Amino acid sequence: MKLIATILLFCCSAIVPVLGQTANPEKYQYVFTVAQDGSGNFTKIQDAIRAMRGYPLAPITLYIRNGVYNEKIELPANNTDVTLIGESVDSTIITYDDYSGKGSLTTFTSYTAKISGNRFTAENITFVNAAGPVGQALALYVDADQALFKNCRFMGNQDTIFNGGETARQFFWNCYIEGTTDFIFGPATALYSHCIIKAKSSSYITAASTTKGKPFGLVFTRCRLLADPGVKKLFLGRPWRAYAKTVFIHCEMPAAIAPEGWHNWSNPDNEKTVYYGEYGSQGPGATSSKRVSWAQHIGAAAAKRYTPEQIFAACNPELPAATTWYKNIQPAAFKWPVK
Protein backbone atom coordinates (compact mmCIF):
# COMPACT_ATOMS: atom_id res chain seq x y z
CA MET A 1 0.00 0.00 0.00
CA LYS A 2 2.82 2.36 0.83
CA LEU A 3 4.41 1.52 -2.50
CA ILE A 4 1.22 2.45 -4.38
CA ALA A 5 0.91 5.70 -2.47
CA THR A 6 4.51 6.54 -3.23
CA ILE A 7 3.99 5.86 -6.94
CA LEU A 8 0.83 8.02 -7.01
CA LEU A 9 2.60 10.84 -5.20
CA PHE A 10 5.50 10.68 -7.67
CA CYS A 11 3.17 10.67 -10.69
CA CYS A 12 1.10 13.57 -9.40
CA SER A 13 4.17 15.64 -8.62
CA ALA A 14 5.50 14.93 -12.12
CA ILE A 15 2.23 15.92 -13.77
CA VAL A 16 1.72 19.22 -12.01
CA PRO A 17 4.82 20.99 -13.42
CA VAL A 18 3.97 19.77 -16.93
CA LEU A 19 0.47 21.23 -16.68
CA GLY A 20 1.94 24.41 -15.28
CA GLN A 21 4.15 24.79 -18.35
CA THR A 22 1.22 24.79 -20.78
CA ALA A 23 -1.64 26.37 -18.83
CA ASN A 24 -2.37 29.97 -17.85
CA PRO A 25 -0.28 31.75 -20.50
CA GLU A 26 -1.47 35.08 -19.12
CA LYS A 27 0.73 34.72 -16.06
CA TYR A 28 3.91 35.05 -18.13
CA GLN A 29 5.40 38.33 -19.35
CA TYR A 30 5.50 38.83 -23.11
CA VAL A 31 6.53 42.48 -23.44
CA PHE A 32 9.79 43.84 -22.06
CA THR A 33 11.59 47.17 -22.30
CA VAL A 34 15.32 47.78 -21.97
CA ALA A 35 16.48 51.30 -21.21
CA GLN A 36 19.86 52.43 -19.95
CA ASP A 37 18.31 55.20 -17.85
CA GLY A 38 16.42 52.67 -15.73
CA SER A 39 12.98 53.56 -17.07
CA GLY A 40 12.39 50.06 -18.46
CA ASN A 41 12.33 46.56 -17.03
CA PHE A 42 16.07 46.11 -17.51
CA THR A 43 19.15 48.16 -18.36
CA LYS A 44 20.86 45.31 -20.26
CA ILE A 45 19.54 43.36 -23.23
CA GLN A 46 20.91 40.01 -22.08
CA ASP A 47 19.21 40.37 -18.71
CA ALA A 48 15.88 40.78 -20.51
CA ILE A 49 16.57 37.69 -22.63
CA ARG A 50 17.28 35.65 -19.49
CA ALA A 51 13.91 36.72 -18.09
CA MET A 52 12.02 35.44 -21.13
CA ARG A 53 10.13 32.18 -20.94
CA GLY A 54 11.64 29.47 -23.12
CA TYR A 55 9.35 28.14 -25.86
CA PRO A 56 6.78 30.85 -25.02
CA LEU A 57 3.04 30.35 -25.31
CA ALA A 58 2.75 33.64 -27.19
CA PRO A 59 5.22 35.83 -29.13
CA ILE A 60 7.57 37.96 -27.03
CA THR A 61 8.50 41.56 -27.86
CA LEU A 62 11.52 43.35 -26.44
CA TYR A 63 11.63 47.13 -26.96
CA ILE A 64 15.12 48.63 -26.79
CA ARG A 65 15.39 52.34 -26.18
CA ASN A 66 18.16 54.43 -27.72
CA GLY A 67 21.63 53.90 -26.32
CA VAL A 68 24.95 52.18 -26.97
CA TYR A 69 24.68 48.74 -25.38
CA ASN A 70 28.21 47.46 -24.90
CA GLU A 71 27.38 43.80 -24.42
CA LYS A 72 27.66 40.42 -26.09
CA ILE A 73 24.18 38.97 -26.47
CA GLU A 74 22.86 35.49 -27.20
CA LEU A 75 19.30 34.36 -27.89
CA PRO A 76 19.33 30.56 -27.33
CA ALA A 77 17.41 28.09 -29.47
CA ASN A 78 14.70 27.66 -26.83
CA ASN A 79 13.91 31.39 -26.97
CA THR A 80 11.63 31.19 -30.00
CA ASP A 81 9.17 33.76 -31.38
CA VAL A 82 11.09 36.79 -30.09
CA THR A 83 11.04 40.26 -31.65
CA LEU A 84 13.59 42.98 -30.82
CA ILE A 85 12.55 46.51 -31.77
CA GLY A 86 14.95 49.41 -31.41
CA GLU A 87 13.82 52.98 -30.89
CA SER A 88 15.85 54.13 -33.91
CA VAL A 89 18.37 52.34 -36.09
CA ASP A 90 20.98 55.10 -35.82
CA SER A 91 20.85 55.34 -32.03
CA THR A 92 19.97 51.83 -30.81
CA ILE A 93 23.38 50.18 -31.00
CA ILE A 94 24.61 46.81 -29.74
CA THR A 95 28.40 46.64 -29.87
CA TYR A 96 31.24 44.43 -28.69
CA ASP A 97 34.89 43.93 -29.69
CA ASP A 98 35.61 40.20 -29.65
CA TYR A 99 37.57 38.61 -32.50
CA SER A 100 39.08 35.28 -33.49
CA GLY A 101 42.40 34.80 -31.68
CA LYS A 102 41.44 36.94 -28.71
CA GLY A 103 42.13 34.47 -25.93
CA SER A 104 40.38 31.22 -26.84
CA LEU A 105 37.86 32.84 -29.17
CA THR A 106 37.31 31.51 -32.69
CA THR A 107 35.45 32.93 -35.67
CA PHE A 108 32.21 31.41 -34.41
CA THR A 109 32.51 32.73 -30.86
CA SER A 110 33.65 36.22 -31.85
CA TYR A 111 30.09 37.48 -32.41
CA THR A 112 28.49 40.55 -30.91
CA ALA A 113 25.04 38.96 -31.23
CA LYS A 114 24.13 35.29 -31.69
CA ILE A 115 20.53 34.51 -32.66
CA SER A 116 19.42 30.87 -32.52
CA GLY A 117 15.72 31.10 -31.58
CA ASN A 118 13.48 30.37 -34.56
CA ARG A 119 10.93 32.89 -35.86
CA PHE A 120 13.03 35.82 -34.74
CA THR A 121 12.59 39.43 -35.86
CA ALA A 122 14.84 42.46 -35.35
CA GLU A 123 13.95 45.98 -36.39
CA ASN A 124 15.68 49.37 -36.11
CA ILE A 125 18.87 48.05 -34.47
CA THR A 126 22.56 48.50 -35.29
CA PHE A 127 24.84 45.52 -34.62
CA VAL A 128 28.55 46.37 -34.43
CA ASN A 129 31.73 44.40 -34.01
CA ALA A 130 34.17 47.10 -32.93
CA ALA A 131 37.32 44.95 -32.91
CA GLY A 132 38.65 46.66 -36.05
CA PRO A 133 40.59 45.04 -38.93
CA VAL A 134 42.12 42.27 -36.82
CA GLY A 135 40.73 39.21 -38.61
CA GLN A 136 37.46 37.35 -38.26
CA ALA A 137 35.06 39.27 -36.04
CA LEU A 138 31.31 38.73 -36.37
CA ALA A 139 28.73 41.40 -35.74
CA LEU A 140 25.96 38.81 -36.18
CA TYR A 141 25.84 35.02 -35.95
CA VAL A 142 22.34 33.87 -36.92
CA ASP A 143 21.43 30.21 -37.29
CA ALA A 144 17.71 30.67 -36.53
CA ASP A 145 15.11 29.53 -39.05
CA GLN A 146 12.56 32.10 -40.24
CA ALA A 147 14.70 35.01 -39.07
CA LEU A 148 13.75 38.47 -40.29
CA PHE A 149 15.88 41.62 -40.02
CA LYS A 150 14.16 44.87 -41.03
CA ASN A 151 15.84 48.26 -41.27
CA CYS A 152 18.92 47.13 -39.33
CA ARG A 153 22.61 47.94 -39.71
CA PHE A 154 25.52 45.49 -39.46
CA MET A 155 28.97 47.01 -39.13
CA GLY A 156 32.30 45.22 -38.99
CA ASN A 157 35.25 44.16 -41.07
CA GLN A 158 36.01 40.52 -41.90
CA ASP A 159 33.04 38.14 -41.49
CA THR A 160 30.42 40.71 -40.47
CA ILE A 161 27.40 38.39 -40.86
CA PHE A 162 27.42 34.60 -40.55
CA ASN A 163 24.28 33.11 -42.09
CA GLY A 164 24.40 29.82 -40.19
CA GLY A 165 22.04 26.85 -40.18
CA GLU A 166 22.17 24.52 -43.17
CA THR A 167 18.36 24.43 -43.43
CA ALA A 168 17.69 27.90 -42.04
CA ARG A 169 15.74 30.60 -43.90
CA GLN A 170 16.72 34.20 -43.26
CA PHE A 171 15.49 37.48 -44.73
CA PHE A 172 17.30 40.84 -44.55
CA TRP A 173 15.09 43.70 -45.70
CA ASN A 174 16.15 47.31 -46.16
CA CYS A 175 19.34 46.77 -44.17
CA TYR A 176 22.84 48.25 -44.31
CA ILE A 177 25.84 45.88 -44.19
CA GLU A 178 29.50 46.83 -44.33
CA GLY A 179 32.75 44.89 -44.10
CA THR A 180 36.02 43.94 -45.73
CA THR A 181 36.49 40.23 -46.51
CA ASP A 182 33.81 37.52 -46.83
CA PHE A 183 31.57 39.78 -44.80
CA ILE A 184 28.39 37.90 -45.73
CA PHE A 185 29.02 34.17 -45.46
CA GLY A 186 27.62 30.79 -44.45
CA PRO A 187 25.37 27.86 -45.43
CA ALA A 188 21.87 29.25 -44.84
CA THR A 189 19.37 30.22 -47.49
CA ALA A 190 19.49 33.98 -46.95
CA LEU A 191 17.70 36.63 -48.99
CA TYR A 192 19.00 40.20 -48.94
CA SER A 193 16.47 42.53 -50.53
CA HIS A 194 16.64 46.32 -50.94
CA CYS A 195 19.81 46.44 -48.86
CA ILE A 196 22.88 48.67 -49.06
CA ILE A 197 26.08 46.63 -49.00
CA LYS A 198 29.36 48.50 -48.59
CA ALA A 199 32.83 47.04 -49.10
CA LYS A 200 35.69 48.72 -47.27
CA SER A 201 38.58 46.87 -48.95
CA SER A 202 39.56 45.21 -52.21
CA SER A 203 38.41 41.72 -51.33
CA TYR A 204 35.31 39.50 -51.45
CA ILE A 205 31.74 40.36 -50.52
CA THR A 206 30.40 36.84 -50.01
CA ALA A 207 31.67 33.38 -49.08
CA ALA A 208 28.76 30.97 -49.25
CA SER A 209 29.05 27.41 -47.95
CA THR A 210 25.78 26.13 -49.37
CA THR A 211 25.27 22.40 -48.86
CA LYS A 212 25.01 20.08 -51.85
CA GLY A 213 21.57 19.81 -53.40
CA LYS A 214 20.07 23.03 -52.04
CA PRO A 215 18.39 25.10 -54.76
CA PHE A 216 19.28 28.48 -53.21
CA GLY A 217 22.08 29.91 -51.09
CA LEU A 218 22.81 33.62 -50.72
CA VAL A 219 20.42 35.72 -52.82
CA PHE A 220 20.65 39.48 -53.37
CA THR A 221 17.76 41.27 -55.05
CA ARG A 222 17.49 45.01 -55.72
CA CYS A 223 20.47 45.77 -53.52
CA ARG A 224 22.87 48.68 -53.90
CA LEU A 225 26.56 47.77 -53.69
CA LEU A 226 28.98 50.47 -52.59
CA ALA A 227 32.76 50.59 -52.28
CA ASP A 228 35.08 52.90 -50.35
CA PRO A 229 37.21 55.17 -52.60
CA GLY A 230 40.31 53.03 -52.05
CA VAL A 231 38.65 49.83 -53.21
CA LYS A 232 39.95 48.92 -56.67
CA LYS A 233 39.07 45.24 -57.22
CA LEU A 234 36.09 43.76 -55.45
CA PHE A 235 34.78 40.25 -56.09
CA LEU A 236 31.12 39.38 -55.69
CA GLY A 237 32.01 36.12 -54.02
CA ARG A 238 34.23 33.12 -53.54
CA PRO A 239 33.24 29.58 -52.44
CA TRP A 240 33.89 28.75 -48.81
CA ARG A 241 32.62 25.27 -49.71
CA ALA A 242 32.42 23.52 -53.07
CA TYR A 243 28.66 23.86 -53.64
CA ALA A 244 28.39 27.56 -52.86
CA LYS A 245 25.42 29.34 -54.43
CA THR A 246 25.20 33.11 -54.72
CA VAL A 247 23.20 35.28 -57.12
CA PHE A 248 22.66 39.01 -57.66
CA ILE A 249 19.38 40.06 -59.28
CA HIS A 250 18.57 43.67 -60.27
CA CYS A 251 21.38 45.13 -58.18
CA GLU A 252 23.39 48.33 -58.57
CA MET A 253 27.12 47.67 -58.88
CA PRO A 254 30.03 50.14 -58.62
CA ALA A 255 33.08 50.32 -60.87
CA ALA A 256 35.17 48.59 -58.20
CA ILE A 257 33.58 45.23 -59.03
CA ALA A 258 36.25 43.04 -60.67
CA PRO A 259 35.47 42.43 -64.37
CA GLU A 260 35.66 38.67 -63.78
CA GLY A 261 33.15 39.02 -60.96
CA TRP A 262 33.84 35.78 -59.11
CA HIS A 263 36.81 33.91 -57.62
CA ASN A 264 37.37 30.17 -57.28
CA TRP A 265 39.31 30.47 -53.99
CA SER A 266 42.42 29.21 -55.84
CA ASN A 267 40.76 25.85 -56.49
CA PRO A 268 39.72 25.16 -60.11
CA ASP A 269 37.64 22.18 -58.97
CA ASN A 270 35.21 24.62 -57.35
CA GLU A 271 34.34 25.89 -60.80
CA LYS A 272 32.58 22.58 -61.53
CA THR A 273 30.28 22.68 -58.50
CA VAL A 274 29.49 26.30 -57.56
CA TYR A 275 26.50 28.25 -58.83
CA TYR A 276 27.25 31.95 -59.23
CA GLY A 277 24.84 34.02 -61.28
CA GLU A 278 23.59 37.49 -62.15
CA TYR A 279 20.62 39.04 -63.88
CA GLY A 280 19.43 42.53 -64.69
CA SER A 281 21.95 44.50 -62.64
CA GLN A 282 23.02 48.05 -63.45
CA GLY A 283 25.99 50.33 -62.91
CA PRO A 284 29.60 50.35 -64.12
CA GLY A 285 30.42 47.10 -62.32
CA ALA A 286 27.51 45.14 -63.77
CA THR A 287 29.06 44.54 -67.20
CA SER A 288 29.16 40.77 -67.67
CA SER A 289 31.20 40.49 -70.87
CA LYS A 290 34.38 39.64 -68.94
CA ARG A 291 32.82 37.50 -66.21
CA VAL A 292 34.46 34.13 -65.57
CA SER A 293 33.25 31.49 -67.98
CA TRP A 294 31.91 29.27 -65.19
CA ALA A 295 29.49 31.92 -63.87
CA GLN A 296 25.82 31.66 -64.80
CA HIS A 297 24.07 34.18 -67.01
CA ILE A 298 20.59 33.88 -65.54
CA GLY A 299 17.81 34.41 -68.07
CA ALA A 300 14.56 36.32 -67.58
CA ALA A 301 12.53 33.15 -67.05
CA ALA A 302 14.95 31.75 -64.45
CA ALA A 303 15.15 35.10 -62.68
CA LYS A 304 11.45 34.87 -61.89
CA ARG A 305 12.24 32.01 -59.48
CA TYR A 306 13.98 34.41 -57.13
CA THR A 307 10.96 35.44 -55.09
CA PRO A 308 10.70 35.00 -51.31
CA GLU A 309 7.91 32.46 -51.76
CA GLN A 310 9.93 30.20 -54.05
CA ILE A 311 13.28 30.71 -52.33
CA PHE A 312 12.06 29.86 -48.84
CA ALA A 313 9.64 27.09 -49.83
CA ALA A 314 12.40 25.26 -51.69
CA CYS A 315 15.00 25.71 -48.97
CA ASN A 316 13.69 23.12 -46.56
CA PRO A 317 10.93 20.97 -48.10
CA GLU A 318 10.59 18.91 -44.91
CA LEU A 319 9.42 21.99 -43.00
CA PRO A 320 6.28 24.09 -43.59
CA ALA A 321 6.70 26.73 -46.27
CA ALA A 322 5.66 29.39 -43.74
CA THR A 323 4.51 31.78 -46.42
CA THR A 324 3.74 34.68 -44.07
CA TRP A 325 6.65 35.04 -41.65
CA TYR A 326 8.64 37.32 -43.95
CA LYS A 327 5.77 39.49 -45.16
CA ASN A 328 5.69 41.90 -42.23
CA ILE A 329 7.69 44.52 -44.10
CA GLN A 330 6.98 48.11 -45.03
CA PRO A 331 7.88 49.27 -48.57
CA ALA A 332 7.75 52.90 -47.35
CA ALA A 333 10.91 52.21 -45.33
CA PHE A 334 13.11 51.87 -48.43
CA LYS A 335 16.35 53.82 -48.07
CA TRP A 336 16.84 54.44 -51.75
CA PRO A 337 14.57 54.56 -54.80
CA VAL A 338 13.77 51.22 -56.37
CA LYS A 339 13.91 51.30 -60.15
Assess whether 37 carries a catalytic annotation. Answer: no
Tell me how far the alpha carbon of residue 53 is from its chain's centroid: 23
Assess whether 98 carries a catalytic annotation. Answer: no
Q: Which of 81, 143, 145, 159 is catalytic?
A: 159
Q: Which of 98, 143, 145, 182 is catalytic?
A: 182
299: Cβ contacts below 8 Å, ≥ 6 apart: 279
**Distance (Å, whole) CA 145 – CA 84:** 16
Is-contact 298 279, C-beta < 8 A? yes
- In a 10 Å sphere around its CB, with 0-12 CB exposed, 13-18 middle and 19+ buried, how is residue 242 labelled? middle
User: In the chain, helix, strand, coil percent, each to 5?
Assistant: 15, 30, 55
Please give the single-letter amino acid code of residue 31: V
**Distance (Å, whole) CA 161 – CA 147:** 13
Please report, in angstroms and rounded to a whole number, the separation of the first and last CA atoms in the chain: 80
Is-contact 3 13, C-beta < 8 A? no
CA distances 29 to 18, 46, 84, 269, 313, Å, are 19, 16, 15, 54, 33
**Taking the CB of residue 124, how many other CB atoms lie within 10 A of it?**
20
Phi, psi (deg, nearest 5) at residue 176: -120, 130
293: Cβ contacts below 8 Å, ≥ 6 apart: none
**Distance (Å, whole) CA 317 – CA 5:** 49
**Annotated active-site positions, please?**
159, 182
